[in-house]
Amino acid sequence: MSIRIAPSILAADFTALGSGIAAVERGGADLIHVDVMDGHFVPNLTVGPPVVRSLRRVTRVPIDVHLMIEDPDRFIPSFAESGAALISVHVEAVPHLNRTIALIKELGLKAGVALNPSTPVGTLEEVAADVDYVVMMTVNPGFGGQTYIRRGASKVHAMRELLDRAGNPAPIQVDGGIDSETIADVVVAGADWIVAGSAVFHSKDPEAAVRTLRAAAEAAATRRPHAIPGGRNA
């Protein structure tokens, strides 16, 4: 049984990013999550490959890059070169999803596909056997600190069923509004990897916050009917 906690630097203090990363690593963070936004696909503008390159120098855990951008194929090689270990793209932004998944894998990275809250699970039917992980958004992407959308748990459950039918044990990552109160909802439904921004970096003690989230997730995992797919190694 394995849960991964991926603190999102979207909520971090960028003037003290190194110390923030060190704190969450002491707390047992498994991934560092980087939300990349272009001001077009989502109404916000964040970071690019130089930040990932800087993070790679200070973190010991894999960097998980979530591309919330138009035409992600143009930028995937740059993020790979900068040190990303995992890259996810949005199904809503990619016209040739098989090609994009293949590109990420050819660069030696894990390939994920993300779905917005209103995007049907069935959208991934044709690539369910090919993805390394799936990102289920439980807020509308673009900003941190949003309220968790309760229907997210039922979508996680439906996605787990879709992946299982495809014979793919790929883990499900949940991103949006997750804290110590909402985390059980998605883990019981089948989530394996948990992205948390504000719940970690806006707390007084990010190190302890990571531990609290893991404890809550692992307790919730014992209440679901199947073993957690996937492992700790990216």
Contact present, 40 and 173 (Cβ < 8 Å): no
pLDDT of 28: 98
Angle between helical axes of 17-26 and 206-221 (0-180°, round to 10): 40
pLDDT of 156: 96
Q: Is residue 46 a part of any domain in this protein? A: yes
How many independent structural domains does the chain possess? 1
CA distance 32 to 56: 10
Q: Is residue 146 a part of any domain in this protein? A: yes
Q: Order of strands across the sheet with 32-37?
A: 4-7, 193-196, 172-175, 133-137, 110-115, 86-90, 63-68, 32-37
Is 199 exposed, middle or buried (CB count within 10 Å of its CB: 0-12, 13-18, 19+)? buried
Q: How confident is the model at residue 229 (pLDDT cuts 50, 70, 90)?
A: very low
Global model pTM greater than 0.85: yes
Q: Is residue 234 a part of any domain in this protein? A: no
CA distance 234 to 132: 9
Q: How confident is the model at residue 141 (pLDDT cuts 50, 70, 90)?
A: confident
Q: Is residue 229 a part of any domain in this protein? A: no
User: Which H or E run includes 113?
Assistant: strand 110-115
Average model confidence (pLDDT) across the chain: 92
User: Which H or E run includes 224?
Assistant: none
Q: Is residue 175 a part of any domain in this protein? A: yes
The residues annotated with a catalytic role in the active site are 35, 175
Contact present, 191 and 9 (Cβ < 8 Å): no
Q: Is residue 226 a part of any domain in this protein? A: no
Q: Is residue 133 a part of any domain in this protein? A: yes
Domain with 192 in it: 4-221
For residue 70, pLDDT beyond 80: yes
For 160-179, write each residue's pLDDT tens digit. Answer: 999 999 999 999 999 999 99
Q: Is residue 208 a part of any domain in this protein? A: yes
- CATH code of residue 152: 3.20.20.70
Rg of the chain in Å (alpha carbons):
16
